[in-house]
Amino acid sequence: MYGSKFKKLISKQNLFAFVRTYGCQQNVSDSEKIKGLLLNMGCSFVKEKKDADIIVFNTCAVRENAEFRVLGNIGMLKDLKKQNPKLIIAICGCMTQQYSAREKIKSMFPFVDIIIGTDFIDDLRELIFKVFVKKYNISGEFNNNFIEKYLNKKLDENLTVHRDSKIKAFVPIMNGCDNFCSYCIVPYVRGREISRKPEAIKEEIENLIDRGYKSITLLGQNVNSYGKNLNGGMNFTELLREITKKKGDYWIRFMTSHPKDITKELIEEIAFNDKICKHIHLPFQSGSNRILKKMNRQYTREKYISIVEYARNKIPDISLTSDVIVGFPSESYYDFKQTISLVKLIGFSSLFTFIYSKREGTPAAKMKDLISHEEKSKRLDELLKLQREISSEFCSKFVGKKERVLLEEGHKNGLKFAKTNQNITVFLENYNDDYKDKFCNVKFTGHKRQGLTGIIQNR
């Protein structure tokens, strides 16, 4: 109903849209669906908010500072709205799944037109249409002021995806999370874990490879539990085997793996299947068994170490990355030292470090959090310093060697860059457009803080 009628109206107005994404790859992937939907409506995209007629913020709620950033940026839209009262502002994503955040947005920013939850991307068309009809004085049956939708609903499988890249694609294989780590808001904002059907995933990936995509990352909050709710479906390892039957020159990545569910079978598949990258993102969160228990992570430090030993034994060149939280309620300096010792023992190629952030509605929010912010920052600094040394040592082992890498689009700090199979960034000393979007052989010349440097030698 809203499709063709809206497309005609919008195309006539020549509307421009701007989409900003906060948070993890799950949101990046949702934003690609939002962009597909806007494109189908007849909108085109602009790079600056000031040039837009429709602004969509796809928000993240995982830590307090993520929410602060979103609120600050919504606030800045007020002036744009004053200059252009027809501007349509839609806020969606994980933040808007929470009652308190929705109320905050409504009371602080009454100029916001639409608030929708993560599962409502396919309804965004209808909602924008309603606001549009009113703002542009087009007679119609709609006369709403402010619209919100956020209750759980199943996401439409048939949404068009407008992909940001021509060579790298994110493919969600599941939605939601059932793990309820005690600090984490994700299960509350993303709902229960639902796996997509293997046939739909396979079809999407085969189509991407046929269109020239070279790096495909399968996404899920815990990919290792893929298939648990599919009656008679396949598990994650079987899914990987099925997908990689497709002929072609491509790499498959996946994230995130959960230590409680990762299997030996999966590690063996990574070892023997040359389409799967030799990299596992395996968050450990804390090195202390006492804290892991309070976090409800359902594994111990010893179990984590044994998984890593198994993986290193089967795949000697495996690269491991991880997430870690410092300053979880009641974390003593001794607990923190356990984290430090685990980081030293494992030798991650890189580490994503977070200071614990209290999330209302989670079990940890009720725990006494007596550690000062200053102490948490000190612990974070100690951890970061250690990890910088480890990453540097890890990278130095590559210098002088040659490897096949995939050129990335865009640049970092003005330099073209590529990714290795193990997901290490390589800043390129030479580049020309012949190499664009391709696999190339690179000789590593040195290393710096964020990765390696290298020279392309041939294709």
Q: Which residues bind ligand F3S (CB under 6 A)?
A: 23-24, 26-27, 60-62, 94, 186, 189-190
* Least separation in angstroms between CB 419 and ligand F3S: 21
What letter represents residue 162's amino acid? H
Q: Identify any residues that bridge with 159 across adjacent strands, giving them in sequence order.
A: none
3-state SS class at 112 = coil
- Stated length of the chain: 459
Give the whole-angstrom CA distance, residue 19 versus residue 290: 42
> What is the C-alpha to C-alpha distance for residues 267 and 263, in angstroms, rounded to an integer?
7
Rounded to the nearest angstrom, the gap between the alpha carbon of residue 38 and the centroid of all alpha carbons in its chain is: 21
Q: Does 347 bind ligand SF4 (CB under 6 A)?
A: no
Q: By CB under 6 A, is residue 178 in contact with ligand SAH?
A: no
Binding mask 206-225 for ligand SAH (x = CB under 6 A): ---------------xx---
Residue 279 interacts with, from ligand SAH, ligand SF4, ligand F3S, none (CB under 5-8 Å by kind): none
Give the H or E element holding residue 309.
Answer: helix 301-314
From residue 245 to residue 284, the character string flagging contacts with ligand SAH as x (rule: CB under 6 A) and all else as - is -----------x-x------------------------x-
Decide if residue 235 touches ligand SF4 (CB under 6 A).
no
Q: DSSP string covering 370-396, please?
A: -S-HHHHHHHHHHHHHHHHHHHHHHHH
Distance CA 457, CA 8 (A): 51
Residue placing its CB nearer to ligand SF4 in the complex, 224 or 425: 224
Q: State the minimum distance, in angstroms, from the CB of residue 176 to ligand SAH.
A: 11
Backbone angles phi, psi at 442, to 5 degrees: -125, 140
Which partner from the list ligand SAH, ligand F3S, ligand SF4, none does 321 bind, CB cut-off 5 to 8 Å by kind? none
Based on the shown chain and the rule CB under 6 A, indicate whether residue 61 belongs to the binding site for ligand SF4.
Answer: no
Q: State the angle between helix axes of 124-135 and 3-13 in degrees (0 to 180), rounded to the nearest 10.
A: 50
Q: Are 176 and 191 in contact (CB under 8 A)?
A: yes
Site string (300-329) toward ligand SAH, x via CB under 6 A: -----------------------x-x----
Shortest spacing between CB 361 and ligand F3S, in angstroms: 13
Residue 235 binding partner per list ligand SF4, ligand F3S, ligand SAH, none, with a CB distance cut-off of 5 to 8 Å that depends on partner kind = none
Segment 243 to 302, residues that bind ligand SF4, using CB under 6 A: 258
Q: How far is CA 149 from the centre of its chain?
A: 23
Report how far residue 227's alpha carbon sits from residue 173's, in angstroms, rounded to the nearest whole number. Answer: 9
When binding is defined by CB under 6 A, the residue of 54, 186, 252, 405 that contacts ligand SF4 is 186
- Cα 436 to Cα 106, 197, 209, 374, 418: the distances in Å are 45, 34, 17, 46, 10
60, interface contact from ligand SAH, ligand SF4, ligand F3S, none, CB < 5-8 Å by kind = ligand F3S
**Which token pair is 167?**
């060579």
Residue-wise over 137-162: b if at least 16 C-beta within 10 A, else e? eeeeeeeeeebbbbeeeebeeebebb
Return the number of the residue (284 or 417) whose C-beta is nearest ligand SF4: 284
Binding ligand SAH (rule: CB under 6 A), the pick from 31, 118, 285, 420 is 285
Which residues sit at the interface with ligand SF4, rule CB under 6 A? 177, 179-181, 184, 186-187, 221-222, 258
Which residues of this protein are in contact with ligand SAH, per CB under 6 A? Answer: 62-63, 183-184, 186, 221-222, 256, 258, 283, 285, 323, 325, 354, 356-357, 359
